[in-house]
Amino acid sequence: MFLKWAVVLVLVLSATLAVTVAAVGDLTSTVQLGPLTLLVSGLTWKLPILTGRLQAWRARRSDPNVTHPITYTLDDSGLHIGTRTLNAELKWAGMNRVRETSDMFLFYYSRRTAYFLPKRVVGPGDSTSLADWIRTRLPPDVAYITT
């Protein structure tokens, strides 16, 4: 978060400097600062996309689970996720909340961290019945949110 604001600050300062120098009449400096301002703003705009792609590339190279099937199982005890090297279980009572989006179910085990179940693996007609089934398993203090 700090890095993003630092980049925005540099962008604002360089844009302000470029406008000030142009107002004074020194167009040579404006021509030099203009491309720098555009470069920094472009990097600021694209940095999240580039960072995400870099993380995905790194995961493909270093995580043995990425290239193998992932199994999702829901039962009366909770959500079970199986990979090549790991089995995880998230119990219904241990969930912070469940969020249903148009593409997936998110099973939060903390305020910000969740396991996800893509709806494409469930099937288009079955996701509604699965949502109803999940609601019946959740404890009363665990929210089910539809977005």
Residue 22 exposed, middle or buried by CB count within 10 Å (0-12, 13-18, 19+): middle
Give yes or no: residues 49 and 86 share one domain. no
Q: Which residues of 24-37 are buried (b: 16+ CB within 10 A; e: fewer)?
A: eeeeeebeebbeeb
Q: Give the structural domain span for 37.
A: 2-62
Q: Is 115 found in the same domain as 77? A: yes
Of 62, 85, 101, which marks where a domain is finished? 62
- Does residue 79 sit in the same domain as residue 127? yes
Same domain, 123 and 91: yes
* DSSP structural state of residue 111: S
Same domain, residue pair 88 and 136: yes
pLDDT at 46: 67
Angle between helices 27-62 and 2-24 (to 10 degrees): 160
Q: Please give the average pLDDT of every successive group of 10 residues along the chain, which has 147 residues.
A: 70 76 72 72 68 78 82 92 90 94 93 90 81 93 91
Same domain, 83 and 138: yes
**Report field, pTM of the whole predicted structure over 0.75:** no
Count the domains in the chain. 2
- Domain check: are 53 and 81 in the same one? no
3-state DSSP: the chain helix, strand, coil percent, rounded to 5?
50, 20, 25
Domain harbouring 127, CATH code: 2.30.29
Together in a domain, 139 and 78 = yes
Same domain, 95 and 140: yes
